[in-house]
Homo-oligomer: A and B are copies of this chain.
């Protein structure tokens, strides 16, 4: 086998009360990534989409992730990566993560699954570093592991896959640009101890609610007192979309990543569709272009074709 094709899914990070540590994988949208062994030691990148991402492997997130992996593997061949991205860069649903993870997961299969999932996460984090300046793992870990993942620590890496009940996700991606650096700059540097306590009480309850399959507790614990208040002004109609989604039966949700996408969780697909309709109704009046997605929480992560 010298060629493999994978689907690398979008991911939601900064899950409400779980800023900088909690993420989950979607089934859609996803990137299609095909990796082929080549006889030289180079990494060649071919893009089949309209996003004009760098083909210089040192400037491409998939390229640097794969380079880290090749350096660790110490093999005498290279890879050609064909990317067909469907996840728009800058969407807030883990576009760079899907590129890096898809590339390293596919290449690992070609290497006979030499590396473990945590190792793949480490390689993919090199892509995140290139994309955002920080080696964060809250998109790449759920992309590689699937499902809900808590990143207890990025350095040293400590990834905790969480048990979770059936959940559907509705995502709306307003086609506006929010730079990660700007979304970072808007955050408070310090938080009051009492506020931090409420935030971590909610996160503890959220993890317990996932483990128990307690949907009502999920709803009560999806409260973000720190990040959402700072960032919500960056997203048009944030409050209206959230209120209408709750009205339509959603369990709760918030900003995906550092935005501009928003996500809302629901117990079943039908509710997720009602939430989508409610989102569309609000956004169709804004003049802002947008896309919506409906997906179960994806327990598998990367799909090998």
Contacts and interface: CB of A to CB of B under 8 A. Distances in A.
Interface of A: 17-22, 150-153, 158, 160, 162-163, 187-193, 196-209, 211-212, 217, 220-221, 226
Report copies per complex.
2
Contact of A217 (B21, B160, B202, B211): B160
A201 B162 contact: no
B201 A204 contact: no
Contacts of A204: 18, 21-22, 150, 152, 160, 200, 203-204, 206-207
A206 B21 CA distance: 13
A20 to B, nearest CB: 5
A203 B200 contact: yes
Contacts of A20: 197, 201
Contacts of A220: 152-153, 158
A208 B150 contact: yes
A217 B152 CA distance: 10
Interface-central residue, A19, A152, A199, A203, by most chain B CB under 10 Å: A152
Nearest to A18: B204
Interface-central residue, A160, A190, A200, A203, by most chain B CB under 10 Å: A200
Contacts of A18: 200, 204
Nearest to A196: B196
11 contacts: A22-B204, A152-B201, A152-B204, A160-B209, A162-B208, A163-B212, A190-B190, A199-B200, A200-B203, A204-B204, A207-B208
Contacts of A208: 150, 160, 162, 207, 211
Contacts of A207: 204, 207-208, 211
A205 B150 contact: yes
Interface-central residue, A158, A204, A206, by most chain B CB under 10 Å: A204
A227 B244 CA distance: 40
Contact of A160 (B190, B197, B205): B205
